[in-house]
Chains A and B, each alone.
Chain A
Amino acid sequence: MSHSMMKTAVTTALALSVLAMMAGGASAADFYLRAEGLTKNMPDPNGGPDLPVPMWGFALDDSFEGTELEAADVPGPRLVVPPGDTTLTIHLDNNLSVPISIVIRGQTATMTPTFFTDDQGRQRVYSFTHETPAGNATQVTYTWTGLKPGTYLYHSGTHPQVQVQMGLYGGVTRDAAAGEVYSGIPYDEEVVLLYSEIDPVLHEQVDDGSYGTTGMTSTIDYSPKYFLINGEPYTASTAPIAAGNVGDRVLIRFLNAGLRTLTPTLLGAHMSVIAEDGNVYPYPRQQYSLALPAGQTKDAIVEFPASGTYPVYERRGSLTSAGGSSPGGMLRFLEVGP
Chain B
Amino acid sequence: MIPRLVAHIGRLSVVVTMFFSFSVASAYAGAEIDGLTGTDFTFTAKADCVSGADGLSLFIWGFANGDGRAQYPGPTLILEEDIPVTIHLKNEISWPEPVPVSLVFPGQMDVTATGGDPGLLTREAPPDGTTVVTYTFTPTEPGTYHYHSGTRPDLQIEMGLVGAIIVRPTGFDPGSPRAYAHADSAYDHEYLFLLTEMDYNIHRLVEFGRMDEVDTTTFFPVYWFINGRNAPDTMLMAGIPWLPTQPYNCMPRMHPGEKLLMRIIGAGRDAHPFHPHGNNARIIAKDGRLLQSTPGAGADLAISDFTLASVPGQTIDAIFEWTGAALGWDIYGHAPGDDPEPNEYMPDHGKAFPVVLPGQQELTFGAAYSGSPFLGVFGDMGPGEGGLNANAGYFYMWHSHNEKEMVNNDIFPGGMMTMLIIEPPGVPIP
Encoded as 1 (CB less than 8 Å from any A CB) or 0, chain B from 278 to 292 comes to: 000000001111010
Contact of B216 among A46, A266, A323 (CB under 8 A): A323
A187 to B109, CA, bound (A): 22
B301 within 8 A of A: yes
Whether the pair A318, B107 counts as a contact (CB closer than 8 A) is no
A285 to B287, CA, bound (A): 10
A36 to B312, CA, bound (A): 37
A223 within 8 A of B: yes
B97 within 8 A of A: no
A329 partner residues in chain B, CB cutoff 8 A: 154
B152 partner residues in chain A, CB cutoff 8 A: 319, 326
B214 within 8 A of A: yes
Whether the pair B215, A322 counts as a contact (CB closer than 8 A) is yes
Contact of A289 among B106, B120, B291 (CB under 8 A): B106
A288 partner residues in chain B, CB cutoff 8 A: 106-107, 287-288
A124 within 8 A of B: no
B135 to chain A, nearest CB (A): 12
Whether the pair B312, A316 counts as a contact (CB closer than 8 A) is yes
Whether the pair A289, B154 counts as a contact (CB closer than 8 A) is no
Closest 9 CB pairs of A and B: A315-B313, A323-B215, A317-B154, A323-B217, A286-B289, A326-B152, A287-B287, A291-B311, A288-B107
Whether the pair A289, B110 counts as a contact (CB closer than 8 A) is no
A11 partner residues in chain B, CB cutoff 8 A: none
Contact of A287 among B120, B158, B289 (CB under 8 A): B289
B400 within 8 A of A: no
Number of residues from B at the complex interface, CB < 8 A: 38
A311 partner residues in chain B, CB cutoff 8 A: 120-121
Question: Max chain B CB contacts within 10 Å: which of A46, A266, A287?
Answer: A287
Contact of B110 among A263, A266, A306 (CB under 8 A): A306
Encoded as 1 (CB less than 8 Å from any B CB) or 0, chain A from 81 to 125 comes to: 000000000000000000000000000000000000000000000
A46 partner residues in chain B, CB cutoff 8 A: 212
A residues 272-310 with Cβ under 8 Å of B? 283, 285-291, 305-306
A254 within 8 A of B: no
A267 partner residues in chain B, CB cutoff 8 A: 104-106, 111, 121
Query: B interface, by DSSP: helix, strand, loop or mixed?
Result: loop
A306 to B157, CA, bound (A): 28
B104 to chain A, nearest CB (A): 6
Whether the pair B269, A289 counts as a contact (CB closer than 8 A) is no
Are A317 and B110 CB-contacts (below 8 A) given A291-B311, A323-B214, A324-B212? no
B residues 329-358 with Cβ under 8 Å of A? none
B176 partner residues in chain A, CB cutoff 8 A: none
Contact of A270 among B120, B219, B287, B311 (CB under 8 A): B287
A17 within 8 A of B: no
B155 within 8 A of A: yes
A290 to B219, CA, bound (A): 21
Encoded as 1 (CB less than 8 Å from any A CB) or 0, chain B from 110 to 134 comes to: 1100000000110000000000000
Whether the pair B215, A324 counts as a contact (CB closer than 8 A) is yes
Whether the pair B212, A263 counts as a contact (CB closer than 8 A) is no
Listed by A's residue number, 26 A-B pairs whose Cβ atoms lie within 8 Å are: A46-B212, A263-B311, A265-B106, A267-B106, A285-B291, A286-B286, A287-B289, A287-B314, A288-B107, A288-B287, A288-B288, A289-B106, A291-B314, A315-B312, A316-B270, A316-B313, A317-B153, A317-B269, A318-B154, A318-B217, A319-B153, A320-B154, A323-B154, A323-B216, A323-B218, A331-B120
A324 partner residues in chain B, CB cutoff 8 A: 212, 214-215
Residue of B nearest to A328 (CB): B154
B429 within 8 A of A: no
B312 partner residues in chain A, CB cutoff 8 A: 263, 315-316
Whether the pair B214, A291 counts as a contact (CB closer than 8 A) is no
B37 partner residues in chain A, CB cutoff 8 A: none
Are A317 and B121 CB-contacts (below 8 A) given A288-B107, A289-B106, A324-B212? no
A225 to B216, CA, bound (A): 9
A145 within 8 A of B: no
B109 partner residues in chain A, CB cutoff 8 A: 268-269, 305-306
B271 within 8 A of A: yes
A224 within 8 A of B: yes
A225 to B154, CA, bound (A): 13
Whether the pair A287, B286 counts as a contact (CB closer than 8 A) is yes
Encoded as 1 (CB less than 8 Å from any A CB) or 0, chain B from 201 to 212 comes to: 000000000001
Whether the pair A268, B214 counts as a contact (CB closer than 8 A) is no
B121 partner residues in chain A, CB cutoff 8 A: 267, 311, 313
Whether the pair B217, A289 counts as a contact (CB closer than 8 A) is no
A323 to B157, CA, bound (A): 14
A326 partner residues in chain B, CB cutoff 8 A: 120, 152, 154-155
B293 within 8 A of A: yes
Contact of B217 among A270, A287, A322, A327 (CB under 8 A): A322
A261 to B312, CA, bound (A): 10
Residue of A nearest to B314 (CB): A289
Whether the pair B216, A320 counts as a contact (CB closer than 8 A) is yes
B51 to chain A, nearest CB (A): 24
Whether the pair A305, B218 counts as a contact (CB closer than 8 A) is no
Contact of B107 among A270, A313, A319 (CB under 8 A): A270
A111 to B293, CA, bound (A): 39
Contact of A263 among B157, B219, B293, B314 (CB under 8 A): B314
A200 to chain B, nearest CB (A): 11
Whether the pair A289, B287 counts as a contact (CB closer than 8 A) is yes
A263 partner residues in chain B, CB cutoff 8 A: 311-314
A317 partner residues in chain B, CB cutoff 8 A: 153-155, 157-158, 216, 219, 269
Encoded as 1 (CB less than 8 Å from any A CB) or 0, chain B from 184 to 226 comes to: 0000000000000000000000000000101111110000000
A320 to B152, CA, bound (A): 8
A324 to B155, CA, bound (A): 9
Whether the pair B287, A286 counts as a contact (CB closer than 8 A) is yes
A268 to chain B, nearest CB (A): 6
A287 partner residues in chain B, CB cutoff 8 A: 286-287, 289, 314
Whether the pair A327, B120 counts as a contact (CB closer than 8 A) is yes
A270 to B145, CA, bound (A): 12
A320 to B202, CA, bound (A): 15
Whether the pair A305, B314 counts as a contact (CB closer than 8 A) is no
B214 partner residues in chain A, CB cutoff 8 A: 323-324
- Add 4 more A-B contacts to A267-B105, A319-B153, A324-B212 (CB < 8 A): A288-B107, A305-B109, A315-B269, A317-B153
A283 to B302, CA, bound (A): 12
A267 to B105, CA, bound (A): 7
A223 to B220, CA, bound (A): 12
A290 to B107, CA, bound (A): 12
